[in-house]
Amino acid sequence: MPHRLSLSTSLGDTAALVSDGALATELEARGCDLNDPLWSAKVLLEQPDLIRDVHRDYFAAGANIATTASYQATPQGFAARGIGGQESLDLVGLSVRLADEARREHLADHPDAGPLLVAGSVGPYGAYLADGSEYRGDYALSPAEFRTFHWPRIAALVQSGVDILACETLPSFAEAEALLALTAEAGVDSWFSFTLRDDAHISDGTPLADVARLLDGHPHVAAVGINCVPLHLVAPALAVLRQHTDKPLLAYPNSGETYHPDTKTWAAAGSDSPVDGVPRDLAGGAPAWREQGARIIGGCCRTTPADIAAVAAAI
């Protein structure tokens, strides 16, 4: 791995950074069956080269940030497959190496590209449960239990050289509190990104204002925002966050379709016509989100390199 890059410094040197889009969507398009509790982490076991290829395609599309395939890569999840503790952490490390290899390959062909960063995905406990809990936050763990769950993966990501810890798709205020302490201990720039119940509350019902106040003032938290949310919630949620923190904001919503976690299916928006100023796609919303203070903009589920290329052109 190269010398670890600082997200805070990178944000200071540019108007905005483009993050990547969906990993699982691209892996499925390449023939992977992700109907599995490990989700994209399953491909670390079966076809890791495909993960590197997806990262490389996102860099080619204009992304500045590759997010590792570690969202559901946890020792607990791998243990269900009979994979031991050290081997599971080696797989977390592999997710970092694959992103870094893609970065190196892109820089070899485009030496002036940059900054290019690797973000270590730290998915919530609800992602491990694989029952849609990351959209509800209806689980209760003690700080010690959250530490037992999250710390081994965080430590493996940091040891493997990630530039950023991406604490993402968080539905729970208590989990955010625990991760705030753990990421401070890790000593690496971090971002915190939440799922939403509505435009003013995260999924467990905590006001977004409280989330912003929790994270504001902590120097290792480089950005605060939302992800894996529908397009119509982005602008109002960013407005709430901006009222309560001066930190850089980030937004990487879904494609515009609606996810139903009970059936694990997606539904189209239902109309090709704009509704109440809601953007049709990522690129349509990105300039306004940038004006609201979003310094990192990308995509989450059902987005593609083509979507990220359009975002890069738009901002």
pLDDT per residue as tens digits for the range 210-250: 999 999 999 999 999 999 999 999 999 999 999 999 999 99
Residue 225, beta-bridge partner list: 193, 250
CATH number for the domain formed by residue range(s) 7-314: 3.20.20.330
Residue 296 has pLDDT above 50, yes or no: yes
Neighbouring residues of 140: CB distance < 8 A, sequence distance ≥ 6: 174
**41 and 48 in contact (C-beta within 8 Å)?**
no
What's this model's pTM, rounded to 2 decimal places? 0.93
Domain-wise residue ranges, the chain: 7-314
What string of H, E and C letters represents the secondary structure of 71-128? CCCCHHHHHCCCCCHHHHHHHHHHHHHHHHHHHHHHHHHCCCCCCCEEEEEECCHHHH
Count of CB atoms within 10 A of residue 198's CB? Answer: 12
Q: What is the pLDDT of residue 259?
A: 66
Residue 271 has pLDDT above 50, yes or no: no
Buried/exposed 268-299: b ≥16 CB within 10 Å, e otherwise: ebeeeeeeeebbebbbbbbbebbebbbbbbbb
Cα–Cα distance, 229 to 98 (Å, whole number) = 27
Confidence category of residue 273, pLDDT binned at 50, 70, 90: very low
Tokens standing for residue 194: 């939440």
